[in-house]
Structure 1
Amino acid sequence: MHWLTDPGYGPGRLVFQRGLAVTYLVGFVVAANQFRALLGSGGLTPIPAYVRRVPFRLAPSLFQLHYSDRFFATVAWAGAAVAAAVAAGAADVVPLWASMVPWAVLWLLYLSIVNVGQVWYGFGWESLLLEAGFLAVFLGNARTAPPTLVLWLLRWLLFRLEFGAGLIKIRGDRCWRDLTCLYYHHETQPMPNPLSRHFHHLPRPLHRVEVLANHVTQLVVPFGLFAPQPYATVAAAIIIVTQLWLIVSGNFAWLNWITALLAASVVDWRAVARLAHLSIGPSPAAEPPWHQALAVAVTVLVVALSYWPVRNLVSRRQRMNASFNAFHLVGTYGAFGSVSKRRYEVVVEGTDDAEPGPETVWREYEFKGKPGDVHRRPPQVAPYHLRLDWMMWFAALSVGYAEPWFPRFVVNLLANDRATLRLLRHNPFPDAPPACVRARLFRYRFTTRGERRRTGAWWHREPVAEYCPPIRRSGVNRR
C-alpha cells in the first residue's frame, strides 16, 4: 500500500526528529540540574511523599517502583545521553526496529519525570514534548519513507496546539478581542528576555497588528495544514515565522521550538530545494508491512483519544493545557487566555539581624531569570527552563500558587541549603546562613526610554505589600 508512505517528507521528518531530540536533551539536562532542590528527598515537594499519596495508575512512573536521588539523577542523565545520540543521528544508522527503541526510551523516561513532577512540571510544553515524542517513535528513520498517517497525526497535533491557543484567547480576556493585549503582555509575561522591553515600547498600532496577526495565525491558518501542497507549506511557513517572533520576544522554554518543528514536518522540502536549485538526495525505501500496521494502530488510538480534546475545543468552558489520560497523549493546549495588566514580583530578602527592626539591613536574593535587580538586563534563557523562576511569577499572581512549596523554600534559605542555592543567581549570605528571611511584593514596569538613559535601569519598581513576614532561623524546624 504505497499511499501509506510518502518519501517526499523525508527531509521534514529529519528536521523534526533531530530538533525534537535536542529538545529532549534540554529537558533532561534541566531535570538533572534542578531536581534535588525541587523534587529530591529534601526538596520543596519531595517525590517520595508524592508517590505515597498518588497510585501508579494515576501517575505511571519508574519512580513509583523505586526512588532515590541517585536513581533520579541516573534516569535524567541517561535520558540526556540517549537524546544526544539520537540528535547526532544514531537512530538513522540502525535497522528500523532498532531506531524505535531510543525514541521509546526517551518517551518512557521523560514520562516518568513528568508524572512525579507536580507543580514544577505542570506546563503545557511538558505534555507537548511527550505527545510529539510518542509520535516520533513511529516515524521511522532515514532508511525508510515516512508513514503518511503519522505525518498527518503531527499535523493534527499542531492544529490542536494552534487552534486551541487561538480559541482560548478569543473566549478569554477581552483585550484579545479589542486587540490591546500586547500593550501589556511583553512586560507582564512570565520571564521577559533581552528584547522584551524593546517589543513593549513598539508603537501601539503595531501591537494591535501583532494581535490581529496572531488571531489569523491561530484561528485561520491551521486549517491550511490539511490543504494540498503548496498551500500546506505556506500555512506551515506562517506558523514558523510567528514562532520565531515569539522566540525573540520572550522566554517560553521549548514551547515555540516544538511548535516550529511540528510545522517544519509539514513543509515540502523537496519543492523548496527545487526552487533553491539544491539536491536533496535519493528517496528512502518503502517501510515494511509491520511498520505500516503499527502506523495504522497508532492512528486508530489517536483518533479514539481525540474525542476529549475535540469536545474541549467546542466547549464554552474550554480547558487550557489539560491531559485526559496519565500518558499525556492527545491533550489540549493553549496559553494566555488572560493577560496580566500589571507585573508583580516577589522579592526575597535575608538579614543577619536576629531581631529585625526599622534599621535592619536586608539583602536581596537574586534569581537566574526572573526580574529582581532593576539594573540587570532580562536574560535569554529559552529553550532552557528555570522552573523555580516560573513558579515565582505565579506566586506573585496569587499566594495560592506558592502554598505547597514557598514555606519550604524559605526554610531552605535559612539553612543555606546547597541544592536550593544552586537555583539562584546570587546568595547574599555565602559564609553563614541568614538569621531571618522575608518576602515582599513589588510592582515592576519597564523603564521608559528617558528613564533608561538617565538611570541605566531596565526596570522601575515600587513596594506593594508584605508577602511573607520575617521568619527566624531559630523558629523553624527543617524536615
Structure 2
Amino acid sequence: MDWLNTDWLNAAWWGTADHDVARFVLQRGIAAVYVIAFVSGALQFPALLGERGLLPVPRYLARAARTPGPTLFRWRYSDALLRTVAWSGAALAATVVLGLPQQGPAWLPMLVFLALWLLYMSMVNVGQVFYGFGWEILLLEAGFLAAFLGSDQTTTPVITLWLFRWLLFRLEFGAGMIKMRGDRVWRDLTALYYHHETQPMPNPLSWWFHHLPKPLHKVEVLGNHVAQLFMPFLLFAPQPVATWAAVVVIATQLWLVFSGNFAWLNALTLVIAFSAVGDSVLAGLLPGVPVSADTHAALGTPAWFAAVVLAMGLLMLVLSWWPLKNLISREQAMNASFNRWRLANAYGAFGSITRERYEVVVEGWDGHRWLEYGFRGKPGDPARMPRQFAPYHLRLDWLMWFLALGQPGMHWFIPFLNKLLVADRATLKLLRHDPFGGRPPEQVRARVFAYRYTSWREWRHSGDWWVREPMGDLVPPMSRAS
C-alpha cells in the first residue's frame, strides 16, 4: 500500500483544498438537518407510531414479513428505546454542527455520520406512511456520503464531492422531468396560478406569492425549468461554471423556502448544492472567504481512508444504474429507493398540481355545539395567518393534506379520531389547540371544506386569509360507544 502514500494521493483527481467551504457547509449543514429530524422524531414518533400510537410499530413488525430496510427495532421496539435513539442521534449530530469530530482523524466524523445514517434509517424503515416522504431518503443518502468527506486533517476527496453533485443532479433533474412528464400546467407555465394556494402547507408569505401578477408566475415556472432541467448538467462543468450553476440552484431553493413549508427538503438541497462551489470562485463574490495558495494541496490522506473512499465510490457507481435508468424512463418513479440501504435513490416532487384546495376539519361535540380542533401547520381557522415551520416537519399536518386529496388514510385517521374521543394526551400534544382543554368530547366528526385565498379586497375588509365552504362529511359523528 506504499503507493497510496505518494504524490498519487496529492493529485488533483483525488483531493482539493479548493472545496474547504464546501466540506464545511456539507458536514455542518447535513448534521443540522439530522438534529431537526431526530428532535422531530423524539417529539412526534411515539404519538404517531409508538406502542400506543396511531400505527403502532410493534403491530407493524408483527405482521410484516420484511421491513423495507435494516432497523434496530426489528427485534424489539419500545417508546423508551425510540427516544434513546432519537435524542442520541440529535446529540451526535450536534457535535458535528459544532465541528468537534472534524478536529480529529478522518475515521471520527466517518463513524459519527455512519451512526446518524443507521440510527435514522432505523426510524424511517418502521415509520410507515408517516415517514414516506422523499426528504427522508434524501437525508439518509446525504448522511451516508457525508461520512466520506474526511476531517480537517485530510484533503476533501473529489470522489465524494462528485457523488454529492450526482445526488443533486438526480434531485433537481428528476424533479424537472417528473413535472414535464406530468401535469400540462408545467408545460404551459401556469402551474403557479394554483400552487401557492394548494400546496400542502402554506407559510406566511404564500398568500402574497399567490397574488403576484400572472405573467410573473409564468416567469417563475420558466425559471424553475431552467434551474431543474438545464443547470444540473453544468454542475459537472469546470469552475467557475459549476459554482454559478450551484448559485442558481441555491437561489431557487431560497425562493421555495420563502414561499412554502416543505420540511427540510429545500434547506438540505441548498446545502448539497455547495458541493459544486469552489473556494476561489466564492472568494471573488465574498472577499472574506479564505483561499488556499495551492488548490490541489493535500493535508495528508491516510491509505486506509483512500481505499475506503474508492470502495464507496465504486459501490455508488454500481448502484447508480437504477436511478439513471429511472430518469430516462417514461414510467419515471418519484421518491423511490432501489435497495434496502436507501442509497442512490430517485427523487422528484409535484408531478401534478391540484387546482382546488380541500381541507379536513375535525370537530368535537360538547353537548351543545361543535368545536373545532386546531392544527399547528395546516389551514384551519380562516382568520389565522399561515405559520412558518420548515425545516421542522409536521407529519400529522402533511398527512391531513393527502387525506383531503382523497388518498387512502383511514387506517390512521380513524385511530386518530378515537384518540381524540378519549382525550389522549400524547395525541393532543400534536395539535395547536384543544377546544376541550384536555377533557374528552362526547362525539367527534370530520368534515371537508373547500378553501381558497381571500382576494385583496376581502383581506382588507375582513382580515381573513382564507374563505372556506363546507362540502360534506368525511366521517360522520362518532362516539366512544360507536
> TM-score surpassing 0.5?
yes
The TM-score bracket by the shorter chain reads over 0.9
Aligned equivalent of 1:223: 233
The reply on whether 1:470 has 2:477 as its aligned counterpart is: yes
Q: Secondary structure at the match of 1:442?
A: strand
**Aligned-partner residue type, residue 447 of structure 2:** R
Once the two structures are superposed, the pairs formed by residues 221-370 of structure 1 within 5 Å of their partners are: 221-278=231-288, 280=290, 285-353=299-367, 361-370=369-378
Unaligned runs of 5+ in 2: 1-7
Please give the residue correspondences for 1:29-428 in structure 2 after superposition, counting only pairs within 5 Å: 29-55=39-65, 58-278=68-288, 280=290, 285-353=299-367, 361-398=369-406, 400-428=407-435
Residues 351 and 427 (structure 1), Cα distance of their counterparts in 2 relative to 1, 3 Å cut: same
SS of match in other structure, 2:330: coil
Change (3 A) 1:315 1:278: same
SS in 1 for 2:377: coil
| RMSD across aligned positions (CA) | 1.2
Residue by residue over 1:64-116, the C-alpha shift from the partner in whole angstroms, topping out at 9 and shown as x without a partner, is 12211101011101101111111111111212112211111111100000000
Deviations, residues 339-388 of structure 1 (Å, cap 9, x unaligned)? 000000000000023xxxxxx51000000000000000000000000000
Q: Are 1:452 and 2:452 matched, yes or no?
A: no
- Between 1:18-27 and 1:288-297, the stretch displaced more is 288-297
**How far is 1:56 from its partner?**
5.0
SS in 1 for 2:177: helix
Letter in 1 for 2:329: S
The alpha-carbon deviation at position 55 of structure 1 amounts to 4.1
Check 1:394–1:447 CA distance in 2 against 1; reply closer, same or farther (3 A cut). same
C-alpha distance in structure 2 between counterparts of 1:98 and 1:203, whole Å: 52
User: What SS class does the counterpart of residue 468 from structure 1 fall into?
Assistant: strand
Contact 2:375 2:397 in 1 (8 A): yes
Report if the CA contact (8 A) 2:444-2:478 is conserved: yes
Query: Offset of 1:281 from its aligned partner?
Result: 6.1
Deviations 1:275-317 (A, max 9, x none): 5433516566032221111111111111111111111111111
% identical aligned pairs: 56
The structural deviation recorded for 1:63 is 0.6
Which runs of 5 or more structure 1 residues have no equivalent in the other structure? 354-359
For the Cα contact (< 8 Å) 1:180–1:211, is it kept in 2?
Answer: yes
TM-score w.r.t. the length of structure 1 is: 0.96
Greater alpha carbon shift after TM alignment, 9-18 vs 50-59: 50-59
TM-score normalized by the length of structure 2: 0.95
Please state how far the C-alpha of 1:474 moved relative to its aligned partner.
2.2
Counterpart contact for 1:366–1:425, Cα < 8 Å: yes
Residues 61 and 67, structure 2, Cα contact 8 Å, conserved in 1: no
- Deviation larger for 127-136 or 89-98: 89-98
Contact 2:364/2:445 (<8 A) preserved = yes
CA pair 402-276 structure 1, distance change in 2 beyond 3 A: closer
Separation in 2, partners of 1:276, 1:421 = 48
CA gap of 1:312–1:276, structure 2 versus 1, over 3 A, is: closer
Which residue identity does 1:346 align to in structure 2? V
Match of 2:5 in 1: none
SS in 1 for 2:155: coil
Distance in 1 separating the partners of 2:247 and 2:439: 54
Q: Answer whether contact 2:378 2:397 (CA < 8 A) is retained.
A: yes
- Tell me if structure 1 keeps the 8 A contact 2:423–2:438: no
How far did 1:233 drift? 0.5
Q: Is the 8 A contact 1:16 1:262 kept in 2?
A: yes
- What is the count of residue pairs matched by the alignment? 468
Q: CA deviation at 1:59?
A: 2.7
